[in-house]
Chain A
Amino acid sequence: MKTHDTRSQSSQSSQSGQSGQASQMSQQGDAERIGGVEVERLPRDPRTGQALAPRMQPGYYPGFSTLSQQSFWDEATRAVVLKRVNQPPPITFFDADEARVMQTVCDRVLPQDDRAPDRRIPILNTIDERLASGRINGYRYADMPPDPQAYRLAIKGIEAIAQSMGATTFTELNLRQQDLTLKSLHDGHPIAGDEYWRQMNARRFWLMLVSDCAGAYYAHPWAWDEIGFGGPAYPRGYMRLRDGQPEPWEKVEHRYEWEAPPESLSDTMESLSDTPEASSFTPGTH
């Protein structure tokens, strides 16, 4: 009903708060759309080359819903997860221009064009909230400025790259150019904006950015549904531990083939394990 609609209202443009003009709007308005998304942004069916319509729930576990299990979670966990779903924090750290650029950056680092616009996961808000509250992961590399400063520098650096490509701002670049810009950070060789990038290690910034985006996306129950992760499991626990068996309330896998939008560069992967910046940004393991 009405309340439910408001609750799941999290289209990217509304999340970016004061930024208003989200990335989708910045492209020309007449492009062909499916399910409210421009066709060039959509993943394809590799057999037909046709764009796949946005889904309420992408991934191979149709009908799986971790939130449907919330009465089996403990109180404290339920409160934390529901707050994340229902109350994305407002944008307070980034100013309007920064938020507009960062929203588009997040849309490329963790694209959600295959998701129905009202089923997208707020990423920028989570990053903004971390920077606004000064939360860090317990360390800073000696060759990096403090995280908030690193983000502000990177936005300037990204804008400088966009300008070197003839645009006035990153959000005006086409998809291929946007991905080229970001790929150059992944590679540790930003295309332009030397005066900003020499103040920090570009690849370390890249790893922080991807970590932050992934940290926001895969913290969300809709992402858990997408990848078939069981989510909170206390106090009920798991009983079927072996052979990848599902619990009675989990779903079996139903795969479908898809390929990234043709203009995208982010589906071809190059390992960073042999780079000097590889040492992990992740929590403990063993």
Chain B
Amino acid sequence: MKEPLFGAFDGAKPDEHYVGPIQRIDAPMRHYPRGEAVDFVVVGVGSAGGVLIQRLAKAGFSVVGLEAGPFWDTERDWVSDEAGSHGLYWNDLRIIGGSDPLALGANNSGKGVGGGSVHWAGFTPRLHPSDFRVRSDDGVAVDWPISYDDLKPYYELMEREIPVAGPTYYPWGDPHGYSYAPHPLGGVSQTLVRGCTRLGIPVVAGGPVAINSGSHGSRPHCIYRGFCIQGCKVGAKQSTLVSHVPDAIRHGAELRDKCMVARINLGKDGRVTGVTYYDEHGQEQEQRASVVIVSGYAIETPRLLLNSACPGFEQGLANSSGTLGKYLMAQIGNVVFGRFDDLVRMYKAPPANALTEEFYETDPRNDFVRGYAIQTVGPLPISFAQHMMVAQGAWGWGLRRTMMDYNHWSALGVLGEILPWEDNTVTLADVRDGFGLPVARVTFNLHENDHKIAQAGVQKTEEIMRAAGATEVTQEPRYAHLVGGARMGADASDSVVNSFGRTWDIPNLYVCDGSILPTQGSANPGLTIQALAARTADYLISERENAAAPTAATRIPVRYSLSPSEVAGRGMPRLKSRRPTTFGAGALGPGSRG
């Protein structure tokens, strides 16, 4: 067949804004008068910011979201092409150093509405209960100021809103199940399942991933084209651009794209008054707000707070503890490649598909604490060539030869916990960006426990790859994700924010994004970031409702009614749990009784 049966497919439509092929931004954007203060200004509309503006707007507050990148029309702006997707990433200059410099840009930094959720592969495991108490259990790092049980209802809620597809029974951490069916296996997931099964290692396949296995609201199901980290044109993979931003606009949030926030302004009363930003024409503007929430992720958030230093906060806004910009984390992300005699064709199916968390927890037999997960990845040709440039040292004819065998290779990723270290930092470089703002300098050093986890993870993954039948195995060191840099804690002396993201120093300044994570486990951080955002939104709403009777809010109700409308009525499989089941009888929100 040379042509589609009924002629060419539709493309972008002039004067209409689409996020995904059938979801149109159907409400006119509200515009708050310039010069007028709003209830909330959110800096950065990514994984956390998208959830925040949706909830706060739906709860009836005036909200402005400022996003440095564009508000994508996915039909017009996104392509099914690796090189053509360069614009999805935060490509602006940052300086990287330390003993183990972190590659940024496409590796972990998004720019544009949806932020990193636009280019994540979409793995959505929860943190394990043990992740919240590594100081108590393992004597390293810090405990979280909250427990798994505090976050569990928000994990469940976001898994429905995203929605997450995955197995009915997920055996690790706090065992649970997923309401959307797991995805079919592709060549790479077959590798992991076969290798693990032969070695007797438990493994799950088909999720948990933030990819629709059935249509959901105005978002179609996955078509298995494999371009997940190039931005999902299908709209099947969740980004807040497709899951929450349309609902935010419908409820009156104003989203201003291509707006770069330069600084947060502090009033004489010790409260912030709003932000100063450069609009899309490069004009300096001010937006006043009752509350400022910074959601710029692990590098831009500390950078903005450092760039907002002012009398009283010479070392950076909200940095009385001196911890701002410290304890930055990435995860061990080594990729193990295996060549098979048979074809794999790893470009098909979502790269994020199967995983095992069997080696996630501290094992007393190891000479290190904490652990790692093993997950499928599926690099497209350019990435694969660049991986092999390191893993094999391939260039010239050798690179051409390896690439001609592209379809014979499979790839599995280690995802290992790196502990938070004080010397892994975001500081200001002596280089300035186009707006004259100092850019971030990111310093990263691996420590002994991190090295040992990487080594153990690579060894186990190579074992699995060989058991699966690979005849040649090689690996490449690398890192995945970013968190920390403005960590939460129970004590104002060694953290920047409390568990709701409120800065200890300034009562109406919040941080809500991956930067507030004090530790990270071996779970991809996307789900946790969105769950924390929903929790912070509930807190902010409760706080305002209780403003008339300012008793310290001891219990913040979970506001199920704030889910985007298409979520209501979706089911959750109910598993018996050792832990309190939040979705027990009577706890479900209106319309949620599937």
Task: List residues of chain A with CB under 8 Å of any chain B CB.
Answer: 43, 58-60, 68, 71-77, 80-81, 84, 108-111, 114, 135-143, 179, 182, 186, 207, 210-211, 214-215, 217-219, 223-224, 226-230, 232-246, 248-249, 253, 260-261, 264-273, 276, 278-286
Contact = CB atoms under 8 A, between A and B. Distances in A.
A224 B415 CA distance: 29
For the complex, would chain A's binding face be called helix, strand, loop or mixed by DSSP majority? loop
Closest 4 CB pairs of A and B: A266-B396, A138-B105, A244-B343, A237-B223
Interface of B: 1-4, 8-9, 11-12, 21, 75-84, 86, 89-97, 99-109, 119-121, 123, 184-187, 190, 222-227, 229, 233-234, 333, 335, 342-345, 347-349, 351-352, 375-377, 379-387, 389-407, 411, 413, 415, 441-442, 474-480, 524
B393 A139 contact: no
Contacts of A138: 89-94, 104-106, 109
B183 to A, nearest CB: 9
Contacts of A264: 396-397
B233 A74 contact: yes
A271 B393 contact: yes
B455 to A, nearest CB: 12
A140 B104 CA distance: 9
Most buried by B among A81, A108, A215: A215
Given A74-B9, A264-B397, A286 B407 contact: no
B477 A210 contact: no
A267 to B, nearest CB: 4
A224 B226 CA distance: 15
A138 B96 CA distance: 10
A153 to B, nearest CB: 18
Nearest to B396: A266
B389 A211 contact: yes
A243 B190 contact: yes
Given A76-B79, A219-B382, A284-B121, A279 B186 contact: no
Given A110-B396, A137-B106, A76 B12 contact: yes
A81 B81 CA distance: 8
B107 A80 contact: no
Nearest to B350: A241
Contacts of A234: 80, 223, 225, 227, 233-234
Given A74-B233, A232-B80, A280-B103, A273 B477 contact: yes
Contacts of B223: 233-238
A108 to B, nearest CB: 6
Contacts of A108: 396
Contacts of B390: 207, 271-273, 278, 280-281
B407 A232 contact: no
Most buried by A among B96, B391, B404, B479: B404
B224 A241 contact: yes
Contact of A71 (B2, B391, B395): B2
Contacts of A280: 103, 107, 386-387, 390, 476-479
Contacts of B383: 282-283, 285
Contacts of B382: 214-215, 218-219
Given A283-B383, A285-B480, A139 B84 contact: no
Contact of B391 (A226, A232, A273): A273
A143 B97 CA distance: 8
B389 A272 contact: yes
A31 B524 CA distance: 57
Contact of A241 (B123, B348, B389): B348
Given A242-B186, A244-B343, A284-B107, A135 B398 contact: no
Contacts of A68: 2
A227 B364 CA distance: 46
A266 B105 CA distance: 29
17 contacts: A76-B78, A77-B84, A81-B81, A136-B105, A139-B94, A141-B96, A142-B96, A234-B223, A260-B401, A280-B479, A281-B389, A282-B107, A284-B121, A284-B229, A285-B411, A286-B121, A286-B376
B139 to A, nearest CB: 29
A279 B92 CA distance: 19
B391 A267 contact: no
A229 B380 contact: yes
Nearest to A126: B83
A122 to B, nearest CB: 13
